[in-house]
Chain A
Amino acid sequence: MTKNEKFILVENFIVENREAHYRLAYGYVKNKENALDIVQDAILKALNSIDRLEELAYLKTWFYRIIVNTAIDFIRKHQRVTLMDDDILVLHLPKIEDELTDMDLQDAIDQLPPQYKSVIILRFFEDLKIEEIAEIMGVNVNTVKTRLYTALRKLRVEMGEEFTL
């Protein structure tokens, strides 16, 4: 396959899946402008470093990794100070084994540190396999599993039987 053909393939992939990419970025920054910026940045980075994509089989995970990294970079650069409600603060404070049933799950996910947020978004919202998440995040499968369990514990989500990890 020539470089040109590869470029066209990647280009088509980016255009076809733009909505999923936008959602992924939005999942991190929660606003339209920043999500669009991240999508734009990620496309430029991807197309300019297309040589580093060695196998097209990894196209999806490769591009997701770029979006995730761009988003995390973005958050790091724009460290938003978010005011927290008392009940969210409680989540991060030393545990008092307690209900917290009113906790809004979405807020809880938003408050997770990036690496935990990534596994939750990728696993549950993007329906990716653990192996793919490991590929995207550049860590091994066991690390992904650990992060996923930790994140879930943090979210205090009751694991249902239908969960397969």
Chain B
Amino acid sequence: MKKLNNLKNKYNEIEIPSELEDVVKSSIRQAKTTGKKRGYVKQWTIGAAAAAALFIGSINMSPSFAQAMVNVPVLGTIVEVFTIQQMTINEVDHQADLKTPAIEGLTDKGLQAALNEKYIAENKMLFKQFEQDVAELEKAGGGHLGVHTGYEVVTDTDQLLSIARYEVNTVGSSSTTMKYDTVDKQNNVLITLPSLFKGNLYIDVISKYIVNEMKANMAADENITYFLSTDEFGGFEKISADQSFYITADNKLVISFDKYEVAPGSMGVLKFEIPTDLVKELLVSNTYIH
């Protein structure tokens, strides 16, 4: 025991180097700077994010893995939509943020590839256009310009998938363009508006309904304004044959108008749900809309 006590004294006499204080303080400083980066990001979110990244990565990288996932009961009914590409420019005067959706899991790979290619091509073109616009604007003395695209899954049922893609152009104020794609996941068909109906009568029927809706809405609320063809400056008269539309989860047809298309910008993007009774006689079938 005496020996151990001697050793203990020796231990306590271990010389403390003068650098120790500096080492300790600089380590604490270092920990503060590295620690801040993920200070409030909890450990589990890192794990969850890693798992999600691995899952999405695998689906994008490996067709066989994607195929395997489609066969899993719960995951199988989900046709996955993921952002596969994102192009961004971020400068003081011009911002571009283009998110491109990618559909995975359709059994018709041709349709899937065609849609995905379309999305990528569209965004590439927008990006190029944006770069040109910026260049021109710079030549003219500079100004503010922004483009922002993204998407949301509007409907995702066992049968239908509707994706809305939006494009927001900002030049002082902003304008929004919506584009929709509705896919029949079971039969692997891209649904277009004309393909839903027999003949062209639907254009008039739906247009008349929307005009009446607009009038009724305007009468009910003085804050609501639409441009109508009866106005002195002209305005909405008819939907186009391939007007933007999507189908809701409860199988209702929704017609969509871009910002400024039929109303002042303050009204934003407009949507009208069309009562099924109105068009059921005109439908090719009641598979999608009922």
Contacts and interface: CB of A to CB of B under 8 A. Distances in A.
Interface of A: 3, 11, 14-15, 18-19, 22-23, 26-27, 32, 36, 39-40, 43-44, 46-48, 50-51, 105-106, 109, 121, 124-125, 157-160, 162-163
Interface residues of B, number: 31
A47 B38 CA distance: 12
A109 B7 contact: yes
Given A3-B39, A19-B20, A44-B27, 6 more contacts: A15-B28, A43-B24, A43-B27, A43-B28, A106-B10, A157-B1
Nearest to B19: A36
Q: Which 9 A-B residue pairings sit nearest by Cβ, starting from the closest?
A: A160-B1, A47-B31, A43-B27, A125-B11, A40-B27, A18-B24, A23-B14, A105-B3, A19-B16
Interface of B: 1-4, 6-8, 10-12, 14, 16-17, 19-21, 23-28, 30-32, 34-35, 39-40, 42-43
A157 B12 CA distance: 20
Contacts of B17: 22, 32, 36
Given A39-B24, A40-B23, A159 B1 contact: yes
B24 A157 contact: no
Nearest to B30: A44
A39 B31 CA distance: 13
A48 B31 contact: yes
24 contacts: A3-B40, A11-B28, A14-B24, A15-B25, A18-B20, A22-B17, A23-B12, A23-B14, A27-B11, A32-B17, A36-B23, A39-B27, A40-B26, A40-B27, A44-B30, A44-B34, A46-B31, A105-B3, A109-B7, A121-B11, A125-B7, A157-B1, A157-B3, A157-B4
A47 B7 contact: no
Q: Main secondary structure on chain B at its contact with chain A?
A: helix
Given A23-B14, A106-B7, A109-B7, A163 B28 contact: no
Contacts, number: 81
A33 to B, nearest CB: 9
A15 B16 CA distance: 14
Contacts of B23: 36, 39-40
A31 B10 CA distance: 15
Chain A CB within 10 A, most for which of B8, B27, B30, B42: B27
Chain A CB within 10 A, most for which of B4, B21, B26, B39: B4
B25 to A, nearest CB: 7
A159 B3 CA distance: 11
Contacts of A106: 7, 10
Given A44-B34, A47-B31, A51-B43, A22 B7 contact: no
Contacts of B2: 160
A27 to B, nearest CB: 7
Nearest to B13: A23
Contacts of B20: 18-19, 22, 36, 39
Contacts of A157: 1, 3-4
Nearest to B37: A48
A25 to B, nearest CB: 10
A138 to B, nearest CB: 19
A26 B1 CA distance: 22
A64 to B, nearest CB: 15
A36 B39 CA distance: 26
A51 B38 CA distance: 12
B24 A124 contact: no
B29 to A, nearest CB: 10
A18 B28 contact: no
A51 B20 CA distance: 26
Contacts of A19: 16, 20
A163 B35 CA distance: 44
A15 B29 CA distance: 12
B35 A47 contact: yes
Contact of A125 (B8, B39, B40): B8
